[in-house]
Amino acid sequence: MGAFSKEEKSWMWYDWGHSAYSIIISTAVFPLFYKAAAEDAGVSAANSTAYLGYTIAISTFILALLGPILGTIADYQGFKKTFFAGFSMLGIIATALLTFIPNDNWLLLLVCYMFIAIGSAGSNVFYDAFLVDVTDDTRMNKVSARGFAIGYMGSTIPFIISIAIILLAQQEVLPISVTAASQIAFFITALWWGVFTLPMLRNVRQKHYLNREPRIVANSFRRLYETLKQIKQHRAIFLFLLAYFFYIDGVGTIITMSTAYGTDLGIESTDLLIILFVTQVVAAPFAMLYGRLADLFSSKIMLYVGICVYIIVCIYAYFMKSAFDFWVLAMLVATSQGGIQALSRSYFARMVPKENANRFFGFYNIFDKFASIIGPLLVGVTAQLTGHTSMGVFSLVILFVVGIVILMRVPEPGA
């Protein structure tokens, strides 16, 4: 990363560390650990899945409420890093606590997971908003894309270590239980996340801010209310958020439900973990490629490309018959998954007023979180009505088409 400044590198290192949570806690190890704990406690599979869904919904709702409010307060000098540090420490400490929770206490596992999810998503609100402080408009595509890229690369290291420990415990090569091996994975995640948060805390500072004034909280609510009243003045920003809401919903649905697709094809869990790992590895260079191509052609054109790739994924999924088809889909997703998220972040960062970036990224967080509602619902209803999972995936084309149509009406940042 020699071409990047100290602040840019420090900002990227957080993505490197935080991504361990995304793959180990959110996607791979914790869901399996929790499901096993619930099953041992006599909770049915349907109920345990429902309780996990409720927990995710509650944490999402809390962040949706807090995001714009805390973001508006964080526009004042000195608050952005305080909120970032607070949420990231909440997530890290709660992740470490998973190491000590008995595996038969599934309810306490869920409570802890809720705090981890709040800490993770809350820190990301301010992490994303710090993009305007660590670089300028001409470098945002490159820096944002590189952040996603090293995040993918960084997540593979603790993932490999954790899965290796669990597999060795399963084969009785290590003198520990699978439960203990999973708890070690949680501790590794907390340690990895915590260590690579330090450069961000030490070297990044808030450069764009409002000067402090009396009654900060009351004035923050007033500013938030004025923003909502003046939506017409921020038409381009909210039009982009509307487009983002639709196409990122499709992206998120494909990511979160990919394991279900693979299971329906009869792919073993071990093979699914391998595909997940390879997807992370492939996604890293393509995220950087998106950043370079965005500087050559424009962010909007590359967003169009990413959305079109996902439309192809949905159409291909309709004809999916074998494990080979699933590999093809996974690699297609890997080519655009990081790129479309990175460029969405940098595109939005170049649109918003720098001194009010936190407030607007609070809204960005709302649209990102609530965008996880329509897609899974659309897939579920369509799959049930037709009796085919492939038709459920195909239905996501609607979200991408709506997203790209609205995006066409959004002007380039600075226009």
Q: Please report which confidence band the pLDDT of residue 257 belongs to, taking 50, 70 and 90 as the band edges.
A: low
Instruction: Pick the more confident residue, 211 or 10.
Output: 10
Which residues, 6+ apart, have CB-to-CB distance to 120 below 8 Å?
18, 21, 22, 26, 87, 91
Residue 223's pLDDT is what?
67
Q: What CATH number is attached to the domain comprising 245?
A: 1.20.1250.20
Residue 1 lies in a domain: no
- Quick one: average pLDDT of 163-190? 91
Amino acid identity, position 401: V
297-356 per-position pLDDT tens digit: 889 999 999 999 999 988 988 887 778 888 888 899 889 988 998 999 899 888 888 777
How would you label 271-301 residue by residue, b for 16+ Cβ within 10 Å and e otherwise?
ebbebbbebbebbbebbbbbbebbeeebbbe
Which residues, 6+ apart, have CB-to-CB distance to 86 below 8 Å?
122
**Parent domain of 198:** 6-207+214-407
Q: Are 25 and 189 in contact (CB under 8 A)?
A: yes
- Quick one: average pLDDT of 184-198? 96
- Of 152-161, 177-186, 203-212, the poorest mean pLDDT is in 203-212
- Structural domain tally of the chain? 1
Q: Please report which confidence band the pLDDT of residue 232 belongs to, taking 50, 70 and 90 as the band edges.
A: low
Cα separation of 291 and 281, whole Å?
17
Residue 385 exposed, middle or buried by CB count within 10 Å (0-12, 13-18, 19+):
exposed
Q: Are 13 and 153 in contact (CB under 8 A)?
A: no
Flag whether pLDDT at 125 surpasses 60. Answer: yes
Residue 415 lies in a domain: no
Residue 413 lies in a domain: no
* Average of per-residue pLDDT values in the chain: 84
Residue 375 lies in a domain: yes
Residue 230's pLDDT is what?
60
- Of 120-124, 160-164, 354-358, the poorest mean pLDDT is in 354-358
Please identify which residue in the block is written with the tokens 């009654």.
215
Residue 15 lies in a domain: yes
Dihedral angle sign, alpha carbons of residues 308, 140, 359, 112:
positive
